[in-house]
Amino acid sequence: MRSIWRTLDPGSIDSGLLRDVTAVALGAAVTGASFGAISVASGLPWWMPVLMSLVIFAGGSQFMAVGIVAAGGSPAAAVLAGLVLNARHLPFGLAVGDVLGNGWLARIVGSHLLIDESTAFAMAQKDPARARAAYWACGVSLFFSWNTGVLIGALVGQSIGDPATFGLDAAFPAALLALTLPALKDVATRNSALLGAAVALATTPFLPAGVPVLLALAGLVAFRPTKKKEEEPCPSPQS
């Protein structure tokens, strides 16, 4: 653990960063509790969502995987859908790889904490020391808050017999929609999502659960960002 703490500069963590990280961590705890409760209410043993959260630590793919299985889909379809969704972590790693540190332990632990929020916090910082502090502060805080929420939700969920109780059956699609809303500001992303949703709706009555979700990835192929930033003209040499 010493190699991890050597990568941090305590002076880089200010009150503003702590405030923002705390707010995100509290939100993650609430979402984690709903995930744990819904998973158990859908028929999974209480330890399964807890183990998933500790080992996988990826809220979007966890929601999707459990949602597919709860709807009657195969575990293979759930795993494949989760892997495709988590493929975005590859460019994330390239973008923030420098903030993890040089030690092998720091890189292993830091890679496990590579999520949307920790990446966003790190990339929002201009100073490398602040980026490193923001990444670790956000990643560690969300890991503990998410897993604590999942454990509490799983224990409470054991007393809920029907997932429809308290509207929990609608929480899966609502949570996934909330995760995607920020990305829909981009036109290409929005068009991809709309096409994917149309494909999923059209094929759901005819295909096994989980397969329409995979076919919805056709939206990614049909609409790809084509607009590139125009290169600024080089300033003419001064005489």
Please give the distance of CA 72 from its chain centroid, rounded to a whole number: 23
Residue among 52, 28, 38, 58 nearest 144 (CA): 28
What does the pLDDT read at residue 51? 94
pTM greater than the 0.75 cutoff: no
**Which residue type does 218 have?**
A
Q: Which of 238, 206, 201, 229 lies closest to 216, judged by CA?
A: 201
Q: What integer pLDDT is reported at residue 229 of this predicted model? A: 45
**Rg for the chain, CA atoms, rounded:** 20
The answer to whether 203 and 215 have CB atoms below 8 angstroms apart is yes
Q: What is the model's pLDDT at position 43? A: 81
pLDDT in tens, 53-95: 999 898 878 888 887 887 777 788 788 878 877 777 787 787 7
User: Which portions of the chain are predicted below pLDDT 70?
Assistant: 1-14, 160-180, 183, 208-210, 213-214, 217, 219-239
Task: Kindly report the number of other CB atoms within 10 A of residue 42's CB atom.
Answer: 20
Q: What is the pLDDT of residue 93?
A: 80
The predicted pLDDT at position 50 comes to 94
pLDDT at 121: 85
Cα(54)–Cα(107) distance, integer angstroms: 17
- Per-residue confidence (pLDDT) for residue 150, from 0 to 100: 93
Is the separation of the CB atoms in 210 and 71 below 8 Å? yes
Gap between the Cα atoms of 138 and 116, Å rounded: 10
